[in-house]
Chain A
Amino acid sequence: MSPEPVYIVTMKVVPKTEEIRFDPVTKTVDRSKATNEINPADKNALEEALKLKDKYGGKVIVLSMGPPFFEPFLRTALAMGADDAILISDKALAGSDAYVTSMVLAKGIQKIGGATLVLCGEESSDGSTGQVPPGIATWLGYSLATFVSKIISLDLENKKVVVRRTIKGGYEDIDLPLPAVLAIELGINTPRFPDFRRKRWAEKEYKMTIWNIHDLGLKPEEVGLTGSPSRVKTLIELKPPERMRKIITDPDQAVEEIIKIIKSIK
């Protein structure tokens, strides 16, 4: 580990879930009309990393795995304050599940030279498995805290981080050794806006590092659909049950009707 702290933020670009359509006939997902965005929880993870950098110094590196269209989104992260962005991009990676994704990101982190902290969004809004952060920690042998709502302190000298994590019915404060992977809860902070001057630099001057799987010492059969231990057999639409759909527009009638329903529930 370098003397200066290194914060690696993993980032994914996701389609806005409310704009995804499902075709029940072809059983396929149509993402084409959905707008893409940085996975919201990853933005919260980036903001935490930038706050740590403001306080303790060091370097913030954004690491992502995905197709080339992710690039402009990583430039937004640079404009927000990240020092570097690395995109792992390879056709062979298509169809990778959480097992492969965590392995590839772990290889990327190793190639960077390791991290003081790896900050991830707790889950992605599209896949939402939440398995990538524990996966990265396990591949790398780093300590792990999931569902982190607050980074309380970072002690670089004694190599410790203290975090608050959400548990059923409350929260706990724990102390864990560095290096560590932290899965940051969605919405715990307000991510800063891109800085105007940084934006120019990020969009016009910054040369992004792109790695393919060979750069990471991986073979095509170890990644993508072939390397993934889980398989999708079919997609099904989850239809909600049919409802009565009775409509009332008169407030007094509505009150009577609602009271009747409330009283009928025992």
Chain B
Amino acid sequence: MSREEWRGFGVFIEQDEGVVEETSLEILGRIRELADKYNIKITSFVLTDDINRIIDKIRYYGSDEIVYAENSLFKTYLSDVFSTALYRLVSKYRPRYLLLPATRNSRDLAGRLAIMLRTCLLAHVISIDIDPETMRMNAAVPGFGGNIAAVCECVTMPEMATVSPGVFTPKIRKDIEPKLINESDLTKDLKTLMRKISRTSVARPDISRSEKIVVAGAGCIKDLELIKRFAKIIGAEYAVTRPVADAGLAPRDLQVGSTGISLKSKLVIVLGASGAPHFVSGIRDCGTVVSINIDPDAPIKDFSDLFVVGDLYDIVKKLIDRLGG
């Protein structure tokens, strides 16, 4: 039995081996405000191998109901079974708005689901609103290197979007006791054609949530080790700009900017980066921006609280000496 109209909010709660993706909770934080304002119900969708592993981590974030399916195939992400499973849940519960985190796995999932549902999908949005006249979701999609955003809407249902990590804040709502609904029967018959051979973790901090960051730009390529040492001494995480990642000198998970990670740190020290638009959009939400550049006219100047013109190696070495490296 399916609900008849497309109605309410739907949120995909991403999990991987019982670890809940923070962005899903951030989405709940924002849409709870809209749900309260417009009296809309929120349904969270969970695919997991064991609901007991994660229920306490997701229960009180503002969902009115949590619809879950348990299957041993849902331990970690598998493109084919996750898309079929979520398609079945969404087709039954018919949320008008459907939001997923803009993480690698959920972007993979959302891209398939939108075509299966024959509907639209707004990509990595940075705002979510509802137009009170049409009740359509309006969401800003950043583009063109991060200095322009397009406010978009969907003309089909469900109105889907993936939401950029770090844009919203999760809120605990103990006052809302969500109804738990087990839909495991809907996914019992699923089989995968994919096979995971191995999985390797590369220990890496989540720079989107670090308080202090040192960013190495193209001007640091001669001696990235020195920059890493400096970061360590001041208790900061190390990150890079796109040219450094493009050169294969750092993984994408450490790349700051519109095609990488957006930072929210209290302090960011930008070394040897000119300040291309796609980079500066990634430090927009940082507290204090300090930059060092040899070029007195580098665009980063305008995006800095303190702009130092000089040889970054010279200054970084002096800083290391002073701070007890």
Residues of A within 8 A of B (CB): 17-18, 20, 22, 29, 97-99, 102-103, 123, 125-135, 137-139, 143-147, 162, 166-177, 185-187, 228-238, 240-241, 243-249, 251-252, 254-255, 257-259, 261-262, 265
Contacts and interface: CB of A to CB of B under 8 A. Distances in A.
Given A17-B278, A259-B323, A143 B115 contact: no
Contacts of B153: 230-231, 233
Contacts of B311: 251
B135 interface: no
Contacts of A177: 193-194
Given A168-B104, A243-B304, A261-B290, A251 B149 contact: no
Nearest to A135: B115
A249 B319 contact: no
Contacts of A186: 246, 259
A236 B116 contact: no
Contact of B245 (A131, A135, A187): A187
Contacts of B203: 169
A261 B144 contact: no
B114 A99 contact: yes
Contacts of A98: 111, 121, 123
Interface string B233-259: 010000000000110100011000011
B197 A18 contact: no
Given A131-B114, A187-B245, A265-B266, A17 B145 contact: yes
A234 B140 CA distance: 9
Contact of A237 (B147, B246, B248, B253): B147
B138 interface: yes
A95 to B, nearest CB: 12
A75 to B, nearest CB: 25
B281 interface: yes
A159 B58 CA distance: 40
A230 B121 contact: yes
A130 B199 CA distance: 23
B57 to A, nearest CB: 16
A169 B115 CA distance: 28
Contact of A232 (B150, B289, B315): B150
Given A130-B107, A143-B79, A146-B111, 7 more contacts: A135-B112, A146-B104, A170-B201, A230-B152, A233-B153, A251-B310, A262-B323
6 contacts: A99-B120, A146-B107, A167-B105, A234-B151, A249-B308, A254-B308
B195 interface: yes
Contacts, number: 259
Interface string B258-299: 110000001101000000111011001001111010001000
**Main secondary structure on chain B at its contact with chain A?**
mixed
| CB-CB nearest 9 A-B residue pairs | A134-B111, A229-B120, A17-B145, A129-B123, A138-B115, A170-B201, A229-B156, A230-B120, A244-B305
Nearest to B291: A243
A236 B306 contact: no
B193 A174 contact: no
Contacts of A134: 79, 107-108, 110-112, 115
Contact of B284 (A97, A130, A241): A241
Contacts of B80: 143-144
Contacts of B193: 143, 176-177
Given A17-B277, A22-B144, A147 B104 contact: yes
Contacts of A172: 76, 196-200
Contacts of A176: 193-195
B6 interface: no
Chain A CB count within 10 A is highest, among B198, B269, B306, B309, for: B306
Interface in B104-153: 104-105, 107-108, 110-112, 114-116, 119-124, 138, 140, 142-153
A102 B197 contact: no
Interface string B76-92: 11011001000000000
